[in-house]
Every structure is written in C-alpha cells, then in structure tokens.
Structure 1
Amino acid sequence: MTPSPEPTVYLVDDDAAVRDALAFLLGTVGLQVRVFPDGSALQGGLDGGNVGCLLLDIRMPHVSGLQLQEQLRTQGVDLPIIIMTGHGNVDLCRRAFQQGAVDFLEKPIDETALLEAVQRAIRQHLWQRERAESSAEARSRLARLTEREREVLAGVMDGQTSKQSAKVLGISARTVETHRASLFEKLEVHSLAELMRVYLNVVEGQGGSDP
C-alpha cells in the first residue's frame, strides 16, 4: 500500500453512528479519515508509513481499544494514539497513558477538544518523523568517517583544540587539522555549529526526548 501524502486519521469504533459523526467532523477541517469497526479491520487497512494518528474506542468486541493499543505498540506502529471512551475512569486513563496514548477523551466527544487533540497528535507525528529522517541522514554521514576521524570528532565535541587533540591522540596538530577538514567535508558541514547539529541528531535519535 502506498503511503498517503496527506495526514490520515484512523478511526476505530464499533458504533457506526459514532464513526460517521466523527469522520464527518474531521472531514470538515480537511483531514483524511479512514474508519474501521474493530481492530481486525484496522490491522488489514493500516499503513504504518502514513503520517497521522489513531482514534481508538476502548470498549469494542473481541479486542478492546487498550489491547489494540498494546498490539500496535508491539508491532512498532508509531502513529500517536488518542483513546476514546464512554466509560472513563482513572484506571483506564492511567493504563492508556502508560501504554503511550497522547490523549484520552470521554464520550460524548467535545468537538473542539477532539479537533485540538487530533491536530496536536498529527503535529507530534510529523515532528517525530522529521527527527527520525534527520537522524538517519546524520548516521549515514557519520558512517563515512574513518576511525581516526571519529576520534578527532570526539575531541571537537569535547571542546578540544587541535593541539589538545594532537596530544591525546599522539599525532601532530597539523594531522589533526587535516582530519578535521576531512570530516567537515564528509559530513557536508561548513561550521562548528553545523557539525554539532549533525552529531546531536544522531545522539537524539538514539535516545533523545520529545520537546
């Protein structure tokens, strides 16, 4: 399945009237919506390559919204999840957030709250995807470096001068400068600020937190 170029909202609810009403509401603000009556139908129609979010009802036959949320997380689906329920309580809310939900809405759904939650979730997903792409590009560039160039880069990140790096590495300052020039070229950067940005993109991609 080819990913959609537009953000997609995947709406899962066993109540057809709710699906129709919410899909219509989301469509009025230009959002692309795909509706499903249960988790099995979603699994058959979900494209993890799309940018967007998931709207999951908690109480559904066979597989609950919380169970579906856990399945999707195990499968590596990164779409932000908004949980909906007509039977909200503190325990359900806590479990949803522990499993990574970005919002928890009680029925009857407030239209403004829903639209705001969906738009926040889509913005978050776009940011996550952009960061992941930036990190992947940075890792690709760093892979071009030789072992010595990586050592020189580590010195740059530690704030070492060429002379200090030369002393640590047991080479001449001129050789350090040569390696610095080479790593700048391979990383396609023209300033220390750009160099640090490439390096931090990799660090954040391996364990950074959302803003």
Structure 2
Amino acid sequence: MNATPSPLSPLVHLVDDDEAVRASLALLISTVGLRVQGWSDPQVFLREFPRQDIGAIVLDVRMPGMSGLAVLEALAAQGADQPVIMLTGHGTVDMCRRAFKGGAAEFLEKPVDDEALLEALQNAVRQHVRSRERLSADRVARERYAQLSEREREVAGLIVEGLTNKEIGRALALSPRTVETHRANLFAKLQAESLAQLVRQYAALIAEDGGTP
C-alpha cells in the first residue's frame, strides 16, 4: 500500500534535467512516504536548496551546464550533509570511483531498479536522521558544559578519570564537602543522572577541554 507523504516527512531533492525522469521518480519515491522536490537546473539547486532539510539528494550524473560529479564536489565544499545517491545511464568504473571518493552514498545505473533506489533512499534518510541527532546532542552537550565553572570542569575531569571525592579533594586541596557540592552542581548543570551517563555524554568533551588541572 502506498504511503502518503506527511508535510513533516523527510524531503528528497531530485536533480535531473529530464522532466519525464523527474516525474516518474518522484511518483515512485512518494510511495514510501517521502516528499520530493524536483530540480531541473543543478546550479539553481546549489543556490537555493534548503540546507536544513532532513532527507537525501538524488543526483543525475550527466546534465547540461554542470555535471552531477561537479555538483557533488560543490555540495561537499559547501558543507552540505545530506546523503547523495548518484544516477547515471552511462556508468564507468572511473565515474563510480569518483562518485564514492566525492562522498556519494550510493551509485546506481539507469534504468534504475525501483527496489534498489527505494532501499538506498531509505537507508540514506535513516543515516541523515542519525547524523543530525548526533549533531543536535553534541550541540546541547556543549551548551550545558559551557555553563560549568572552571572548578566544576576540574572536578568533572577527575570524576571521569575515576577518582573518588576524597581523592579529588586531595588533588584540588578541597574539603570532601566542597567536592560534593561541586559534584552535585555539575551533575545538575549537565543534566546527568548517573556517572555512566556523564562519562558517555561528556568524557570526550572534557578531554577536549583538558578537564583536569
């Protein structure tokens, strides 16, 4: 049964100068609940497509004015993070190698197999959702970590190293009660409910900051 795309569903940008190809692929892609926006001009696409979209890009290799491989390079240079699936009617080993080296998620030959394209798209969208979730979580973690005082950062670094409150007190010349206060404050600011969560979410950030004195 076909799935009707929701206004909130991921958006697939379909870049191909052939109107008939865009129409048929858009119809196919919409059957799995993904929205589609077609682009006939790759340069207009590069100028105007919204970078914040969750989804993927389906990109034809051979187009007048600008090749799909050149578009792929431009996307990478612009820092676009949407996975790209390349389509071509005249694939070569060198072309395939260049596409993957340029960051393409998949390289499919026309006439493209419907199931292969849909599977590649769904995998690409899932990959993009996970990537954006990681970026969002990292941004939130950095914002929370920025709230810590210098002393709280020192305590956090020693906690991650596995030191007890008494050992942290000796290392920083603090009373155990003061260490406990700093510990409670930093756990509250980082919204960490356990030591395991603190280590999992903040160990890399603490190490990056140099967390220990």
TM (normalized to structure 1)? Answer: 0.88
RMSD over aligned Cα atoms = 1.7
Unaligned runs of 5+ in 2: 1-6, 207-213
Match for residue 175 of structure 2 among 172, 176, 183: 172
Query: 1:175, CA displacement in angstroms?
Result: 2.0
Match for residue 111 of structure 1 among 104, 114, 129: 114
Q: Is the 8 A contact 2:9 2:33 kept in 1?
A: no
Show the counterpart of 2:93. Answer: 90
User: Cα distance 1:89–1:39, how it changes in 2: closer, same or farther (>3 A)?
Assistant: same
The answer to whether the 8 A contact 1:131-1:201 is kept is: no
Map 1:22-101 → 2, pairs under 5 A: 22-101=25-104
How far is 1:150 from its partner?
0.4
* 1:202 shift after superposition: 4.8
CA contact (8 A) 1:135 1:201 kept: no
Greater mean alpha carbon deviation, residues 125-134 or residues 4-13: 4-13
1:142 to partner: Cα distance = 0.5
Q: Distance in 2 between matches of 1:139 and 1:194?
A: 15
* Alpha-carbon separation, structure 2, partners of 1:116 and 1:146: 48
* Structure 1 counterpart of 2:210: none
Verify the 8 A CA contact 1:80 1:125 in the aligned structure 2: yes
Q: How far apart, in 1, do the equivalents of 2:19 and 2:42 lie? A: 14
Matches within 5 A, 1:150-189: 150-189=153-192
Residue 31 of structure 1, CA deviation: 1.5
In structure 2, give the amino acid aligned to 1:149.
E
SS in structure 1 at match of 2:76: helix
Deviations 1:70-94 (A, max 9, x none): 1111112111111111121222112
Q: How far is 1:183 from its partner? A: 0.4
* Stretches of 4+ aligned residues off by more than 3 angstroms: 200-203
* Corresponding pairs, count: 200
Q: Are 1:5 and 2:8 matched, yes or no? A: yes
The AA in structure 1 aligned to 2:139 is A
1:1-42 CA-to-partner distances (Å, cap 9, x unmatched) read xxx632100011122221111111112222211111121231
Instruction: Indicate if the aligned counterparts of 2:160 and 2:203 stay in contact, CA closer than 8 A.
Output: no
Alignment partners' CA distance in 2, 1:129 and 1:74: 19
**Residue type of the partner of 1:17?**
A
In the TM superposition, what whole-angstrom CA distance separates every residue of 1:31-62 from its partner, at most 9, and x where no partner exists? 21111112123134411111000001111111
| CA deviation vs aligned residue, 1:120-170 (integer Å, no higher than 9, x gap) | 011011111111111111111101100110011011111111122222223
CA pair 125-201 structure 1, distance change in 2 beyond 3 A: farther
Give 1:174 shift. 2.6
Q: Matches of 2:33 and 2:200 in 1, distance apart?
A: 35
State the AA in 2 paired with 1:78: D
TM-score by length of 2: 0.88
Q: Secondary structure at the match of 2:115?
A: helix
Partner residue in 2 for 1:209? none
SS in structure 2 of the partner of residue 35 of structure 1: strand
